[in-house]
C-alpha cells in the first residue's frame, strides 16, 4: 500500500523547504522529496577543492534570507538549530584598469567620501539614489513579499499613491523599470560609477540595455550599504539543514536520493507522485513542486492533464544565459592592484565598463563565448574564516554571462561547441582576466573546481541551460506574468498541484518568499478568487483616484 501524506513537496531547495515548514507548522503531515544526496538545491555548500575547504556551490550572499519574513518568524528556532551568519561591513567594490576602484561600505558617510573623491557629480547622484531607495523601501518594496495580485498588494499600492501622490509614485517607479545603462546615465557622470550598479544586473539576466534591469541593482546596492553582506557561517548548507531540523521537529520527513519521475493525476487532480524506483507516494491535500515550468510540465505532468492553451504558455517560457562557477583554493586572498584593502570585501566585480557588459550579454545571447565576461569574485574567507581548516583561503567566482549552447567564440580562440571540452579553456580565460586585476593570483592557486553551464543543469535540473536564476526576469516574464500570465499565484491547471521557487513571483534570490506565499495559498485555497476580485477593486479605486488627481 502506498504511503500517504497530507502534502508532498518535490524539491528541497530553500523555497520547497520553506513551504514544507509552513505546512508542517499548521499540523500537516509533510514529506519532502529530493533527487540529490542532500537538501538545498542552489543553496548548498560542498568540499569542492580540498578536504574541509567549504565552498558555497551556487549562491553565497544570504542577505535576502537573513532579512526575510521567514527568518523574522522562525529566526530563534533556526539559530537554535545551528544557523549563524558571518557579516562584513565591506560588502562590494568594482575594480577598473590601471589600479582604480570604487568601494561601497556599510557606512553611508564613508561611501559618500569614496564617491566624492572619485567625482563630486557621482557622489551627488549616489546620494540622490540613496534618498530614492528610502522612498522605494517604504512604498513599493513590500510588494516583494506579497502575492500578485492580492488584497495586500492592492493596499500597498493605494497607500503608496496616497503618500507620494500619483506623479511621485510614477517617478519612483521609473527607477526600477529603467535599464541599468539608463540608470547610470541619469545619475552618474563617470564610466566607473555607471558600471558599479550595472554589474548587479548581470547577476540575474539583465544586460545594460534591458528595461527593468535597474531594480535588482537598485535593491542590492543600497541593501548592501545599510546591511553589509552576510554568508552562512560554515557554508550555505547551514540554511537547508536548519530548515530541515525545524520541519522534522514538526513531524515532517525529508527524503534525499528520491527522484520524482511523475506527478500522478486523476480526474484533473494531483493525487501524489511516482519515484524513479517505481514507488508511489500519495498526497491527501496537495503536491507542491519547487520546480521550473519546463521541468515540471515537460517531464512530470501528463500532457492530457493540461489544457492546450496552458501548454502553449509553457512552451513560451524563456530562460536566461548560462553561468560558470569557478571555485579556487588559495594560499592567500587576491593581491588586488587597486589596493590591499580590497581583499577584505565580500564581492569584487570585474567588468569593467557598461559597454563591456553589453558586449558580454550580446555575445552570450548570440551563442558566443564572450571575450571578457563579468566576474563576480566572492572572497568567502574574508567574511567567514571557518571555511578552511588551515591558513588557506577560498574564492568563489561567478562568470556571467555565457551561452547555454555554444555556437562560437567571440575571441576566435576556443573552437569546440561542447561545454565538456570548452569548460577548461574558458576557465583559463577567466583566470587570465582575474590575473590582470589581481597579479600573482595564479601562483596562489592550490586547487580549482570548474562548473560549466551544463554542469550546473546536471547538478540541479531547475538551472536549465545553466541559467542560475531559473528563467528570464525580463518584464514579459516578471511580476504578474511570472511564470505565466494568469498563473502568478502558485496554482496550476491541475487541482491541488502548486508551484514555488525562482520561476514564480518574486523570482530569484534567497528570500524564501515564494515558498512562504505558496504555502499560504495551499492553506487557504478558497481565498483565491475573492482575493483577486478584491485586489482588482483596490487597483481600480487607486487608478480612479490617480486620474482624478491628474485631471
Site of grid cell 586585476: 437
Q: Which of 461, 490, 519 is the last residue of a domain?
A: 461
Query: Does residue 187 belong to any structural domain of this protein?
Result: yes
Residue that is written with C-alpha cell 574541509 in the block: 52
Residue 334 lies in a domain: yes
> Is 82 a domain residue?
no
Angle at 348 (CA atoms; ends 112, 82), nearest 5 degrees: 100
Spatial separation of the C-alpha atoms in residues 187 and 164, rounded to whole Å:
21
pLDDT for 525 = 67
Is 191 found in the same domain as 140?
Answer: yes
In this prediction, residue 1 carries a pLDDT of 66
Query: Do 101 and 23 lie in a common domain?
Result: no
The domain that holds 32 is classified in CATH as 3.50.50.60
314 and 325 fall within a common domain: no
**Does residue 172 share a domain with residue 284?**
no
Asked if the structure places residue 134 within a domain, the reply is yes
Per-residue pLDDT at 529? 43
User: Residue 74: inside a domain, yes or no?
Assistant: no
Range of the domain at 487: 3-60+236-318+469-511
229-232 and 85-88 as β-strands: parallel, antiparallel, unpaired?
A: antiparallel
CA distances from 290 to 6, 9, 81, 241, 303 (A): 17, 7, 23, 17, 19
The residues facing 393 across adjacent strands are: 330
Scan for cell 557629480, then name that residue: 121
pLDDT at 134: 96
| Same domain membership, residue 456 and residue 325 | yes
- Written as tens digits, the pLDDT of the chain (551 aa) is 689 999 999 999 999 999 999 999 999 999 999 999 999 999 999 999 999 999 999 999 999 999 999 999 999 999 999 999 999 999 999 999 999 999 999 999 999 999 999 999 999 999 999 999 999 999 999 999 999 999 999 999 999 999 999 889 988 999 999 999 999 999 999 999 999 999 999 999 999 999 999 999 999 999 999 999 999 999 999 999 999 999 999 999 999 999 999 999 999 999 999 999 999 999 999 999 999 999 999 999 999 999 999 999 999 999 999 999 999 999 999 999 999 999 999 999 999 999 999 999 999 999 999 999 999 999 999 999 999 999 999 999 999 999 999 999 999 999 999 999 999 999 999 999 999 999 999 999 999 999 999 999 999 999 999 999 999 999 999 999 999 999 999 999 999 999 999 999 999 999 999 999 999 999 996 544 444 444 444 444 444 443 443 33
The answer as to whether 278 is a domain residue is yes
77 domain-assigned = no
| 173 and 250 housed in the same domain | no
What's the number of domains the chain is made of? Answer: 3
Q: How far apart are CA 507 and CA 545, in angstroms?
A: 30
Three-state secondary structure of 518-550: HHHHHHCCCHHHHHHHHHHHHHHHHHHHHHHHH
Q: Are 201 and 180 in contact (CB under 8 A)?
A: yes
Within this chain, do residues 443 and 486 fall inside the same structural domain, yes or no? no
- Together in a domain, 292 and 362: no
pLDDT at 526: 53
Residue 454 counted as domain residue: yes
**Do 337 and 456 share a domain, yes or no?**
yes
Residues 380 and 500 in one domain: no
CATH number at residue 417: 3.90.660
227 grid coordinates: 546591511
- Angstrom CA distances, 505 to 142, 289, 314, stand at 13, 14, 16
Q: Are residues 308 and 326 in the same domain?
A: no
Q: Are 151 and 143 in contact (CB under 8 A)?
A: no
Give pLDDT, residue 74.
Answer: 98
- Looking at the fold, whether 298 and 338 belong to one and the same domain comes out as no
Task: Give the DSSP letter of residue 13.
Answer: B
What pLDDT is stored for residue 533 in this prediction? Answer: 42
Amino acid at each position: 500500500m502506498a504511503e500517504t501524506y497530507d502534502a508532498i513537496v518535490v524539491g528541497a531547495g530553500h523555497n520547497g523547504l520553506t513551504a514544507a515548514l509552513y505546512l508542517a507548522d499548521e499540523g500537516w503531515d509533510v514529506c519532502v522529496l529530493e533527487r540529490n544526496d542532500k537538501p538545498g538545491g542552489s543553496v548548498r555548500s560542498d568540499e569542492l577543492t580540498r578536504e574541509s575547504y567549504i565552498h558555497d556551490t551556487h549562491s553565497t550572499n544570504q542577505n535576502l534570507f537573513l532579512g526575510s519574513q521567514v527568518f523574522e518568524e522562525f529566526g530563534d528556532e533556526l539559530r537554535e538549530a545551528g544557523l549563524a551568519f558571518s557579516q562584513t561591513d565591506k560588502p562590494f567594490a568594482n575594480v577598473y584598469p590601471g589600479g582604480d576602484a570604487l568601494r561601497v561600505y556599510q557606512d553611508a558617510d564613508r561611501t559618500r567620501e569614496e564617491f566624492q573623491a572619485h567625482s563630486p557629480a557621482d557622489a551627488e547622484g549616489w546620494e540622490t539614489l540613496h534618498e530614492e531607495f528610502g522612498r522605494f523601501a517604504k512604498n513599493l518594496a513590500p510588494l516583494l513579499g506579497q502575492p500578485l495580485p492580492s488584497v495586500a498588494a492592492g493596499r500597498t499600492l493605494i497607500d503608496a499613491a496616497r503618500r507620494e501622490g500619483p506623479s511621485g509614485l510614477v517617478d519612483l517607479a521609473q527607477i526600477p523599470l529603467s535599464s541599468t545603462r539608463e540608470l547610470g546615465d541619469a545619475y552618474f557622470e563617470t564610466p566607473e560609477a555607471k558600471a558599479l550598479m550595472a554589474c548587479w544586473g548581470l547577476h540575474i539576466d539583465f544586460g545594460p540595455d534591458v528595461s527593468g534591469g535597474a531594480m535588482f541593482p537598485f535593491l542590492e546596492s543600497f541593501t548592501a550599504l545599510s546591511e553589509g553582506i552576510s554568508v552562512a557561517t560554515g557554508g550555505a548548507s547551514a540554511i537547508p539543514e536548519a530548515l530541515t531540523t525545524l520541519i522534522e521537529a514538526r513531524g515532517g520527513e525529508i527524503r534525499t536520493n528520491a527522484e520524482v519521475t511523475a506527478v500522478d493525476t486523476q480526474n484533473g487532480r494531483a493525487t501524489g507522485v511516482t519515484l524513479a524506483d517505481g514507488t508511489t507516494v500519495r498526497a491527501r491535500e496537495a503536491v507542491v513542486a519547487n520546480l521550473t515550468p519546463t521541468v515540471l510540465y515537460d517531464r512530470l505532468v501528463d500532457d492530457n492533464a493540461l489544457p492546450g492553451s496552458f501548454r502553449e504558455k509553457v512552451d513560451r517560457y524563456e530562460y536566461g544565459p548560462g553561468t560558470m562557477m569557478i571555485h579556487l583554493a588559495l594560499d592567500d586572498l587576491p593581491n588586488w592592484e587597486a589596493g590591499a584593502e580590497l581583499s577584505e570585501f565580500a564581492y569584487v566585480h570585474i567588468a569593467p565598463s557598461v559597454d563591456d557588459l553589453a558586449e558580454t550579454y550580446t555575445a552570450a545571447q548570440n551563442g558566443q563565448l564572450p571575450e571578457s565576461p563579468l566576474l563576480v569574485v566572492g572572497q568567502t574567507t574574508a567574511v567567514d574564516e571557518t571555511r578552511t581548516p588551515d591558513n588557506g583561503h577560498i574564492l568563489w567566482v561567478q562568470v556571467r554571462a555565457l551561452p547555454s549552447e555554444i555556437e562560437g567564440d567571440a575571441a576566435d580562440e576556443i573552437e569546440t561547441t561542447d561545454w565538456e571540452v570548452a569548460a577548461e579553456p574558458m576557465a583559463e580565460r577567466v583566470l587570465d582576466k582575474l590575473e590582470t586585476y589581481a597579479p600573482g593570483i595564479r601562483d596562489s592557486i592550490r586547487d580549482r573546481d570548474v562548473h560549466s553551464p551544463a554542469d550546473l543543469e546536471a547538478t540541479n535540473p531547475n538551472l536549465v541551460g545553466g541559467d542560475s536564476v531559473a528563467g528570464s526576469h525580463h518584464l514579459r516574464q516578471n511580476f504578474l506574468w511570472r511564470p505565466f500570465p494568469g498563473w502568478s499565484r502558485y496554482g496550476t491547471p491541475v487541482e491541488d498541484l502548486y508551484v514555488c521557487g525562482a520561476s514564480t513571483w518574486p523570482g530569484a534570490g534567497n528570500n524564501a518568499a515564494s515558498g512562504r506565499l505558496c504555502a499560504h495559498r495551499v492553506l487557504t485555497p478558497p481565498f483565491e478568487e475573492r482575493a483577486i476580485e478584491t485586489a482588482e477593486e483596490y487597483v481600480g479605486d487607486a487608478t480612479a483616484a490617480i486620474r482624478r488627481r491628474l485631471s
